[in-house]
Homo-oligomer: A and B are copies of this chain.
Amino acid sequence: MGIRVTVWGENVHEQKNKVVAGIYPLTMHGTIAKALKEAGIDASTVTLQDAEHGLTPEKLAATDVLIWWGHCAHGDVEDAIVERVCDAVWGGMGIIFLHSAHFSKPFKRLMGAPCNLSWREAGERERLWVTSRQHPIAAGLPDHFELEYEEMYGEPFGVPEPLETVFVSWFAGGEVFRSGLTYKRGAGNIFYFRPGHETYPTYHDANVQRVILNAVNWAYNPNKRIADPNHAPNVPVDKALEPIVERGPRLHHDGEEGYR
């Protein structure tokens, strides 16, 4: 059985904007899922408009890697669903954030940082350079590749120092951007990938599709999902691994839960 990927799409501009609908007749999430399916991945799609945004506990339990694209409706995502997604990540679900998802609620929640940047929508040339040779996410790619039409995102990018910087982008207008960054939160692998403005055909690009496929394979954690990733177990004195004797005063009674 292939890796089970759920592609989450905001699905607003595809419905309201003729340019976007024209470039992505299958929607953006549909285009991404189609490319993954052709590569043997068990990919499905859900959208903001679905009940619980399509992210029921059952769906998340059946998702190995979640891909997130959002832009104009970040605020419409319910906080309870964001927490559910984070719990799944902490338990071991991989997650890939694309482009304007830098300002999505789950990304900001997982980063603990502003996630801001500078930007310009001018259809300019972007060139992505691989900065970590032979990294699994860069497998099969040349040392650099170009996207002739893209939105510019510029540094400083308000994210924590990553585990690894995989791509850095050059823009025709003079900016640079760390375009591919890896993180781990709890047991979950996280990848941020910059390209993908909705008015350009970025997700039809073979190199971009390759990066997303590679990132799915990289983010997938075959270990069993942690049931309660927030559990903070008390270890009673008589279960200590080395013999110890209780000493001094204490706050908690036997069998009591810790404070939260």
Binding site for B on A (CB under 8 A): 13, 17, 19, 71-75, 86, 90, 92, 100, 103, 109-114, 116-124, 127, 129-136, 139-140, 143-144, 149, 152, 154-158, 160-161, 163-165, 168-176, 178, 183-187, 198-200, 221-223, 226, 229-237, 240-242, 244-252, 258-260
Q: How far is the CA of A116 from the CA of B143 in the complex (A)?
A: 14
Beyond the given A131-B155, A173-B240, please list 5 additional residue pairs across the A-B interface where CB-CB is below 8 A.
A116-B229, A122-B245, A130-B155, A139-B223, A160-B184
Q: Which residues of B contact A113 (CB under 8 A)?
A: 90, 110, 112, 185-186
Query: When the two chains form their complex, are residues B116 and A230 in contact, meaning their CB atoms are under 8 A apart?
Result: yes
Given A72-B259, A246-B122, A250-B123, A133 contacting B175 (CB threshold 8 A)? no
What B residues does A235 contact at CB under 8 A?
118-120, 152, 154, 173, 175
Copies per complex of this chain: 4
Q: In the bound complex, do residue A241 and residue B111 qualify as a contact, i.e. CB atoms below 8 Å apart?
A: no
Q: Let me know if A249 and B199 touch, CB within 8 A.
A: yes
In the complex the two chains form, what is the Cα distance from A117 to B249 in whole Å?
Answer: 22
Tell me the smallest distance from the CB of A193 to a CB of chain B, in Å: 16
Residues of B within 8 A of A251 (CB): 13, 17, 72, 121, 198-199
A236 nearest CB neighbor, chain B only: B120
Contact in complex: B111, A112 (CB < 8 Å): yes
**List of B residues within 8 angstroms of A187 by Cβ:** 133-135
When C-beta atoms are compared, the residue in chain B nearest to A17 turns out to be B251
CA of A73 to CA of B226 in the docked complex: distance in angstroms?
Answer: 27
Partner of A134, one of B73, B92, B154: B92
Q: List 11 A-B contacts (CB under 8 A).
A: A90-B114, A116-B229, A118-B235, A120-B235, A121-B251, A131-B156, A135-B187, A161-B163, A169-B176, A174-B240, A175-B241
